[in-house]
Amino acid sequence: MTHGRIALLGGGNMGRALIGGLLRSGTRAERVSIGEHVAEARSALAQELGITATADNAQAVAGAAIVVLAVKPQDARRVLLPLAAVLRTARPLLISICAGTRVESLQEWTGGALPVVRAMPNRPALLGAGVTGMYAPPAVSVAQRSAAEQVMQAVGEVVWVPDEDLVDVVTAVSGSGPAYFFLLAQLMAEAGEGLGLERQAAQRLAAATLYGAGLMAHVPGADLSRLRAEVTSPSGTTEAAVRVLEAGDLRGTIARALAAATARGRELAMLRPDPDPAGT
Ligand SMILES: NC(=O)c1ccc[n+]([C@@H]2O[C@H](COP(=O)([O-])OP(=O)(O)OC[C@H]3O[C@@H](n4cnc5c(N)ncnc54)[C@H](OP(=O)(O)O)[C@@H]3O)[C@@H](O)[C@H]2O)c1
């Protein structure tokens, strides 16, 4: 990883997770600076991670080789515009985790000419078990891509996509993905209860199955269809269930669900109100 300093703008949920991950993976605390305007969030950073954050974003990014933008998407423009002059001079690598905020906008708000990488982590990143979909335009160098990858690996795995539009598909698959698995486990628990299990037992069975299946699927090189086949004996119980799922068009339902999530992500990005209609 680059030996320069890393600055985070926004020390909320994801910012804290990233800093925690960076510290755990060996980044020294003095190499990290944070700009966070909420006093309680700054206290939480000091208490949980022993990091001093500042309310002055310009101070946070001064001298940083990498700046991670971790504020809410609707705050991105307001946070970046006042920093444009300092960023244009220092030209750090900007990694934005803001959902639906395009490279073109980020470059415009930072005065142009800044290498920008988009990263879309998911909620398990808060436990260091996330997966981040990443996109870099061609102008970003191999070394900068590698530096961005190492930052995001602090909270889990990284998968690159070759086209910025695919970041919305990443959001549909892995960004929203934990909710699909929670829903499936919830429905399994409810069905188990309907078949006679105690509620708590049904929930533990479903949740622990989700966890165990996740561990098996996470083994490097794991083939999801083979894993499924291995627990589906011919004419057995699993096959009986899978046949019902297929007959109910689970495949088509999932395809439609992910298409809807992708479309909604694009819609939300277009609908986001401009926080500064004067265009300054
Ligand atoms: N959480 C997830 O699971 C997840 C997953 C994928 C991507 N993301 C992306 O990650 C980004 C951060 O999400 P989050 O969940 O960490 O949000 P969050 O908890 O709200 O954290 C953002 C922090 O930045 C602060 N902030 C706002 N304006 C600021 C400014 N001018 N200067 C300094 N700090 C400022 C916020 O303060 P206020 O509370 O006052 O606004 C808040 O403390 C979002 O863009 C989101 O799209 C999140």
Query: Three-class SS of residue 113?
Result: coil
Any ligand 1 atom below 6 A from CB of 53? no
Strand ranges of the sheet holding 93-96, from the earlier edge strand across to the other edge: 53-54, 32-35, 5-9, 64-69, 93-96, 116-120, 130-135, 156-160
Any ligand 1 atom below 6 A from CB of 130? no
Query: Three-class SS of residue 250?
Result: helix
**CA diameter of the chain:** 68
Which residue carries 């600055």 as its tokens? 7
pLDDT of the residue at 277: 45
* DSSP-assigned letter for residue 38: -
Q: Select from 125, 131, 211 the least CA-distant residue to 174.
A: 131
pLDDT in single tens digits along all 280 residues of the chain: 556 899 999 999 999 999 999 999 999 988 999 999 999 989 888 888 888 899 999 999 999 999 999 999 999 999 999 999 999 989 999 999 999 999 999 999 998 889 999 999 999 999 999 999 999 999 999 999 999 999 999 999 999 999 999 999 999 999 999 999 999 999 999 999 999 999 999 999 999 999 999 999 999 899 999 999 999 999 999 999 999 999 999 999 999 999 999 999 999 888 765 555 443 3
> What's the CA gap between 126 and 21, in Å, rounded?
9
* DSSP-assigned letter for residue 212: H
Q: Which residue has the least CA distance to atom 43 on ligand 1?
A: 12
Cα pseudo-dihedral 42, 4, 81, 12, rounded to 10 = -30
Any ligand 1 atom below 6 A from CB of 175? yes
- Length of the chain in residues, anyone? 280
The model's pTM: 0.92
- What separation in Å is there between the alpha carbon of 70 and the centre of ligand 1? 5
pLDDT of the residue at 274: 53
Any ligand 1 atom below 6 A from CB of 12? yes
Please report the domains of the chain, with CATH numbers, ordered by start residue.
5-163 (3.40.50.720), 175-267 (1.10.3730.10)
